[in-house]
Structure 1
Amino acid sequence: MATGDEPLQFRVLGTFEVTRGSRRCTPTASKQRALLALLALHANEFVATSRIVDQLWSRGAPRSAIAALHGYVTAVRRVLTPGLTSARTSHPVLNTRPSGYMLCLEPHQLDLTRFRQLVKQAQAEIAAGDCGQAREMFTAALGLWRGSPLADLRETGMFDHDISRLEKEYLELLRSRFDVMLCQGDGHLAVFELEELCAKYPLWERFHEQLMLALCQAERRADALNAYARAYRVLSSAAGIEPGPRLRAMHQVVLSGDDPRHWHDHRHAGLRVAHSVSL
């Protein structure tokens, strides 16, 4: 653990931040901040020097890149642990390894690790049939997000792939949370959020399907049919495709007047979405 009364805290699910208690420890220089963000995204993993250089200098690294990287590492260590005088290979957080580096963190020090742990625990609760506990964990995981991941580094273009991956994890979290809400018959509470998500991510068919179920639970079957019509228009015009089999099947269930309570979601092992719909 790093020196000091409190452990360092790293946050990537929003603007990149490093703090120790109330003290900010985020490097101000752009390359140093990007270096530390990259290592935080791969906490407790070896990251090769060549990979770091490629990411920090995506348009062609200068001949001095390796020397510059060594200087950035030294500067970052000083920010993380002011006054530490130990050798660079024994730094308590940012370790030097042969041909690379490793940021050594406990799970509670990185918001991304806590987020993934909560999601994994929620999925285990779903498998055990406890939707209520799963919902609490999904909500806690959602609370760790403070905005767009690495928002202050987005314009650098260095983290496009990482940001895209994290945003997908965020959307998957929302999808799972809505599944649980629908499982508990609380679709009426999700209508507004799902309408916004369908508008923002029109090609995510799962959100359209969930919106239709939520509207049914809110006793708005006609609106559910209208939601399908909108999804059909968006998918056909934006992507040149028709709705997939899941969304078409949901449309048939609503159109025929059948009770959607027995619509089962097998996406999560053990989760049976018994949607309580007032018809």
Structure 2
Amino acid sequence: MASGDEPPQFRVLGTFEVSRGNRRCTPTAPKQRALLALLALHANEFVPTSRIVDQLWARGAPRSAVAALHGYVTAVRRVLTPSWVSSRTSHPILNTRPSGYVLCLEPHQLDLTRFRELAKQGQTAMAAGDCARARETFAVAVSLWRGAPLADLRETGMFDHDISRLEREYLEVLRNRFDVMLCNGDGHLAVFDLEELCRTYPLWERFHEQLMLALCQAERRADALTAYARAYRLLSNQAGIEPGPRLRAMHQLILNGEDPFDRGHRHERVLTGLQLAHTVSP
């Protein structure tokens, strides 16, 4: 198959990009790009015309909005199936439905779909206690992220809810990935990344807990206590709250010179998600 005849690839986990083979075909007009990004986020789902209009013209749609949208759809279709693509190998991608549209994509055409599939596979491996498979799968999922989702469309404000949801999904995968590393005794390899995450997401207590565990595995218990003190300050200053019971229990174990990975401490819920998978709900 010639590179031009390959099905288009869509990427939303970073700047929004559309490509065929080695050719970029991302719409350059702002409204067309936003339209296609919206449909890509909801690939294979019916998206009503009313929703598209509301999102593209958040400050109030003009009377000509629906007519303008039809023009954008026509332009986007030309971008998705340019003249150099063989009509024999091209299949309709952007389909019209009564009062709406559907962007029809195979799983391999959208990075978000692949990311979610890998996240599920990693969780399945975690539940089965397969650390090696889970770690590898989560690592591949994380590698699909090229930066903040829809980074080039962030300033429009059109995708604030979608971006927040995607970032939460990403953080959950990171959390699971580090749980697997800790359960595999590789916490020392995660210290740097966890320190950065604790700075970036100071209210995610799980990352503070994982950092303390990783430092303990690296035989840096004093640094683990320092990490707790830093977490305490961040939570207090930014949210006006104290660390939760799980993080406090972790701190007390380290103060007592106990091993936080000792199975005898399961009832205190201080072990990682994988170790607790069959005993305590998160």
TM-score over 0.5 for the alignment?
A: yes
- Using the aligned pairs only, state the percent identity: 80
State the 4+ residue runs in structure 1 displaced beyond 2 angstroms.
262-273
Amino acid at match of 1:209: E
Distance (whole Å) between structure 1 residues aligned to residue 107 and residue 15 of structure 2: 19
Amino acid at match of 1:264: L
Amino acid at match of 2:243: P
Residue 259 of structure 1 deviates from its aligned partner by: 1.2
In 2 relative to 1, CA 4–23 (structure 1 residues): closer, same or farther, beyond 3 Å? closer
1:32 paired residue number: 32
Deviations 1:179-225 (Å, cap 9, x if unpaired)?
Answer: 01001011111111111111111111001000000000000111111
1:155 paired residue number: 155
1:265 paired residue number: 272
Paired residues, what number? 268
Contact 1:202 1:235 in 2 (8 A): yes
Q: What is the CA RMSD across the aligned residues, in angstroms?
A: 2.1
Worse-matched range after superposition: 237-246 or 255-264: 255-264
Worse-matched range after superposition: 161-170 or 7-16: 161-170
Amino acid at match of 1:173: V
Residue 264 of structure 1 deviates from its aligned partner by: 3.1
Residue 130 of structure 1 deviates from its aligned partner by: 0.2
Amino acid at match of 2:100: G
Deviations 1:92-122 (Å, cap 9, x if unpaired)?
Answer: 1000001000000000000000000001001
Residue 272 of structure 1 deviates from its aligned partner by: 8.2
Contact 1:235 1:242 in 2 (8 A): yes
| TM-score normalised by L of structure 1 | 0.91
Amino acid at match of 1:99: S
1:139 paired residue number: 139
- Return 5+ residue gaps in structure 1 as ranges: 274-279
Residue 266 of structure 1 deviates from its aligned partner by: 4.4
In 2 relative to 1, CA 14–271 (structure 1 residues): closer, same or farther, beyond 3 Å? farther
Distance (whole Å) between structure 2 residues aligned to residue 104 and residue 45 of structure 1: 8
- Return 5+ residue gaps in structure 2 as ranges: 263-269
Deviations 1:36-71 (Å, cap 9, x if unpaired)?
Answer: 000000000000000000000000000000000000
Amino acid at match of 1:71: G
Distance (whole Å) between structure 2 residues aligned to residue 60 and residue 209 of structure 1: 45
1:197 paired residue number: 197
SS of 2:148 mapped into structure 1:
coil
Distance (whole Å) between structure 1 residues aligned to residue 161 and residue 77 of structure 2: 26
1:16-31 equivalences in 2 (<5 Å): 16-31=16-31
Amino acid at match of 2:194: L
2:99 paired residue number: 99
1:98-117 equivalences in 2 (<5 Å): 98-117=98-117
Contact 1:127 1:268 in 2 (8 A): no
Is 1:60 aligned to residue 67 of structure 2?
Answer: no
